[in-house]
Amino acid sequence: MKSKYINPFTDFGFKKIFGEEASKPLLLDFLNALLPESGKIVDLTFKNSEQHGGTNKNWNLGYDIYCKNEKGEKIIVELQKAEQNFFGKRNTYYATFPIIEQGEKGDWDFNLKAVYCIGILDFTFDNAKFDTDKGEYEHTIKLKNQNGKTFYEKLTFIYFEMPNFIKTEEELKTRLDKWLYFIKHLEDFQVIPNIIADEVFQQAFDKVELAKLGSVEMEKYERSLKVFRDLNGAFTTARDEGRIAGREAGKTDLASFLKAENETIEKIIKYTGLTKEEIEKL
């Protein structure tokens, strides 16, 4: 059956839902559902999603969504389509820039604003860092000591392993449940479920209906969808082969394809985990 709505796990689809100025009410609703400890967010400002990586000004870090709320707290929202080597290290590195950019010249008391890094993951962690054997889908990570006491409370990582989110429509209890259900099943919906038919979700469905996209947007979506499918194919092949060589070959093939499609270096690094130097040699 032909899809009625966009695939939210594509770059285009994810940013159409949450990353446009007109999407701000949707992003506010989503963040207020998952960040209750920060208090209700009243307003958001989208920030430049391109951040310089270290001292190399030719290498930018491209966040999917980067914004701050009215309290000055920084929020990164990332869609991750396939697990990469050093995933945790990469996300920690990304988180340092919203911290560093708060630095002030002169006399300053280091009163930092909170930083939240949120990851919507289209995979499950292939390691023993989390209790994934229990089917947990949400992981909240803070800097703590050996006794579980929080050392620094203003840096929070929140990951959602979407394959582990298996709640049915009848099991949806919270606002966050409804958002995760919407994201996971959006491409499969033909009619809007009653449980997510309120005004906010109706606005979301209106924005992502394929029939309402103009020709330029449809072309961008089709290109983004092709990248998504090729990415999945490359990693599925690598997993099926069950060999490191196969996995690396899949990454190389995907990187070559993305270069031919004129994708940015930053996104190729994000999708494949290859270094800039490895990509430039292809």
DSSP states of 139-175: EEEEEE-TTS-EEEEEEEEEEEEGGG----GGG--SH
On whether the CB atoms of residues 19 and 198 are closer than 8 A, the answer is: no
For residue 217, the model assigns a pLDDT of: 94
Q: How confident is the model at residue 49 (pLDDT cuts 50, 70, 90)?
A: low
Residue 6 lies in a domain: no
Asked if residue 232 and residue 95 are part of one domain, the reply reads no
Q: Which residues contact 33 (CB under 8 A, 6 or more apart)?
A: 174, 175, 176, 178, 179
Give the end of a domain, one of 191, 212, 233: 212
Question: Which residue reads 């997510």 in tokens?
Answer: 196
On whether the CB atoms of residues 208 and 5 are closer than 8 A, the answer is: yes
More confident call, 67 vs 249: 67
- Between helix 11-18 and helix 24-34 the angle, nearest 10°, is 90
Largest CA distance in the chain: 63
Q: How wide is the angle at C-alpha 195 spanned by C-alphas 191 and 196, nearest 5°? A: 65
Q: What percent of the chain has pLDDT over 90?
A: 48
Residue 72 lies in a domain: yes
More confident call, 52 vs 94: 94
Give the end of a domain, one of 167, 184, 212: 212
Mean pLDDT of 11-35: 94
205-240 per-position pLDDT tens digit = 999 999 999 999 999 999 989 888 877 776 666 555
CA-only gyration radius of the chain, Å: 19
CA dist., res. 28 & res. 47, Å (int): 15
CA dist., res. 73 & res. 192, Å (int): 34
Asked if residue 280 and residue 219 are part of one domain, the reply reads yes
Give the end of a domain, one of 171, 193, 212: 212
Read off the tokens for 222: 């089709």
More confident call, 67 vs 265: 67
126-138 per-position pLDDT tens digit = 655 555 556 789 9
| Number of domains within the chain | 2
Asked if residue 187 and residue 156 are part of one domain, the reply reads yes
For residue 244, the model assigns a pLDDT of: 45
More confident call, 232 vs 117: 117
Asked if residue 232 and residue 148 are part of one domain, the reply reads no
For residue 173, the model assigns a pLDDT of: 95
CA dist., res. 257 & res. 252, Å (int): 9
Beta-strand pair 115-121/150-161: parallel
Residue 3 lies in a domain: no
Residue 191 CB coordination number (10 Å): 8
More confident call, 106 vs 217: 217
Mean pLDDT of 100-112: 86
217, amino acid identity: E
On whether the CB atoms of residues 144 and 128 are closer than 8 A, the answer is: no
Asked if residue 208 and residue 218 are part of one domain, the reply reads no
The residue segments making up the domain with residue 258 are: 213-282
On whether the CB atoms of residues 54 and 43 are closer than 8 A, the answer is: no
Residue 178 reports pLDDT greater than 80 = yes
Q: In whole numbers, what is the pLDDT of the chain averaged over residues?
A: 83
For residue 115, the model assigns a pLDDT of: 94
On whether the CB atoms of residues 112 and 154 are closer than 8 A, the answer is: yes
Residue 249 reports pLDDT greater than 50 = yes
